[in-house]
Amino acid sequence: MKVHATPIEGVVVIEPEVFGDQRGYFFESYSQARFDAAVRPVRFVQDNESMSRRGVVRGLHFQRGRFAQSKLVRVVEGCVLDVAVDIRRGSPTFGRHVAVELSAENRLQLFVPRGFAHGFSVLSPTARFQYKCDNPYAPETEGAVAWDDPAIGIDWRLSPDEVLLSPKDAAHPRLAEAPELFDYNIDYYA
């Protein structure tokens, strides 16, 4: 696998090595040893999958405290714009984001470390999205930031009339108003 740095330290794009011939293709989508050596040691404990239709925006979500999550995400059908936002107060990249197109065709994966909010928009008619998490879902620790916060300035690559949100995702606070975030000076992996 190849690991590509992004403008925000810790957030990386992973490109698998694909072996193909007239029969089709094969690639290793995840190897604990290779991931730990190339990115950072992370013990994933839960795999999730969602299916969404075009225009759906999910996010920008995170979990706080001892349930903070790293995510390794990929698309197995369709295409999404995947986004990680630095929400570590004191970080030199606080409020900045990385946006990467993930698709079944490009097979790219995005690693979103603890201390980041995560979301995606669906650009294809439908998309199946898979993600590994290093902490289980803990609803009492959920946090979120408004998907359309102008201070973050994400271009979701959808027209406003296409955007489909859950009632919960439509009501998140802007980054400046978010009550509990992360502290850049704390190691959330310790």
Residues in the chain: 190
Distance of CA 106 to the CA centre of its chain: 16
Residue 36 lies in a domain: no
Catalytic option among 61, 97, 118, 172? 61
Catalytic option among 118, 131, 188, 189? 131
Look at strands 12-15 and 2-5 and give their pairing.
antiparallel
Alpha-carbon span 187 to 8, nearest angstrom: 16
Would you give the DSSP letter of residue 38? Answer: H
Alpha-carbon span 190 to 186, nearest angstrom: 9
Residue 1 lies in a domain: no
Q: Is 188 one of the catalytic residues?
A: no
Residue 20 lies in a domain: no
Which tokens sit at 136? 């289980």
What residues make up the domain containing 67?
Answer: 7-15+43-183
Upper half-sphere CA count for residue 7 (Cβ side, 13 Å): 13
Residue 152 lies in a domain: yes
Give me the mean pLDDT over the 165-178 stretch. Answer: 97
Model confidence at 180, in pLDDT bands (50, 70, 90)?
A: confident
Q: What's the chain's average pLDDT?
A: 96
Residue 4's H or E segment, with its range, is: strand 2-5
Q: pLDDT tens across 82-127, in order?
A: 999 999 999 999 999 999 999 999 999 999 999 999 999 999 999 9
Residue 77 lies in a domain: yes
pLDDT of residue 112: 98
Identify the CATH number of the domain in which residue 112 sits: 2.60.120.10
Alpha-carbon span 128 to 81, nearest angstrom: 13
CA dihedral of residues 65, 69, 70, 74 (deg, nearest 10): -160
Residue 189 lies in a domain: no
- Please tell me the pTM assigned to this model: 0.95
Residue 22 lies in a domain: no
- In the chain, the number of structural domains is 1
What phi, psi does 140 have (nearest 5°)? -70, -15
In this structure, the number of other CB atoms found within 10 A of the CB of residue 115 comes to 25
**Buried-exposed string 131-163: b where 16+ CB fall within 10 A, e elsewhere:** bbbbbeeeeebebbbbbbbeebebebebeeeeb
**Buried-exposed string 70-92: b where 16+ CB fall within 10 A, e elsewhere:** bbbbbbeebbbbbbbbbbbeebe
Residue 149 lies in a domain: yes
